[in-house]
Amino acid sequence: MLEELIEGVLENQPQININTSSIVEPARDLSDTFYGKMQIFNSDFFFLDLKNHAKFLVTQTKGETNIHVELLKDHDWPIVKSWLFGSVLTAALQMNNRFAIHASAVLKDDQLYLFCGQSGIGKSTIASQLHTKGYPLFSDDKCVLFWNEENVLQSFPSLKITRLWENSAAELTDDGFIHSPTKVALRQNKFQYLISDAQVIDENKRVHSIYRIHNGPRASVLQIKHPNGIQKIKQLRNQTHRLNYVSGLGKQKTHWEYMQKIVQHVPYSIINRPEGTSIKEFVNFVEQNVMKI
């Protein structure tokens, strides 16, 4: 039922179990606890109520993290999985000091090139297009980064899916690496595809560099910029998936130090993409100025 998850033995990663069970909503008077429209969480648990579909509860015991799922009567399974793989899994990872960056990644010379940015900015498009040019697709939309025992920044794969707008998928010169499209909930003309098993990468890989895609004004120039100082930390910090969870889960200091270490050891740059830049022009620029450096 969770065919999107990548199977493999990943060393030095948190043990996260997913199971179905009945869930009781946390009390409404807990101290040091965030209460939102859908979520309740603190440093001990994360609860999400996906009305009419499911309830989720993330807890930790004896070194393991457990994601409890209660399916409700009128649930839509694709919607449940979307929230499970998104917000819920992100919270579980943050509880283990693993932070997902809103980025897609491709491989070159067995190292990762990450392209991050806000939703709809072109992360999945650039990664899928580069895949057709011979750069294997590692991860779509989110990358979970961690420092290994040799103090090398790596990412581990989690999902064998990619999400593409209909026009972006139509412009792929080779779409044989994806299949089984399904409509993305609440997104017009966007589809989720399974990545073919033969194309799935199931090993941790070293991060070479990180690029943030920025949509600039039409009159600006397609170029790479290099921010300095604390701006680099703040910009990369803002690319964290579900950044609003960090403080409530008690991970603010850990997260800041994590971001600070990344920008100190891994190249971070901005790609300015002027409004109106075609996919073809953008992909060619990235290939020539990023992948072939």
pLDDT, average across residues 107-124: 90
Give the whole-number percent of the chain exceeding pLDDT 70: 96
Kindly report, residue by residue over 16-40, the tens digit of the pLDDT: 999 999 999 999 999 999 999 999 9
CA pair distance 59, 70, nearest whole angstrom:
14
Which run of H or E residues covers position 1? none
Residue 39's contacts (CB-CB under 8 Å, 6 or more residues apart) are 46, 47, 48, 49, 87
Q: Cα-Cα-Cα-Cα dihedral of 40, 41, 45, 51, to 10°?
A: 30
Domains and CATH numbers, the chain: 15-98 (no CATH), 100-291 (3.40.50)
Q: Is 140 helix (H, G, I), strand (E, B) or coil?
A: coil
Per-residue pLDDT band for 15 (boundaries 50, 70, 90) equals: confident
Record the pTM: 0.89
Phi-psi label, residue 270: left if phi above 0, alpha if psi -120 to 50, beta otherwise: beta
Cα end-to-end distance, the chain, whole Å: 42
pLDDT, average across residues 225-241: 93
Tokens of 46: 């994360």
Kindly report, residue by residue over 66-115, the tens digit of the pLDDT: 999 999 999 988 889 889 988 999 999 999 999 999 999 999 999 999 99
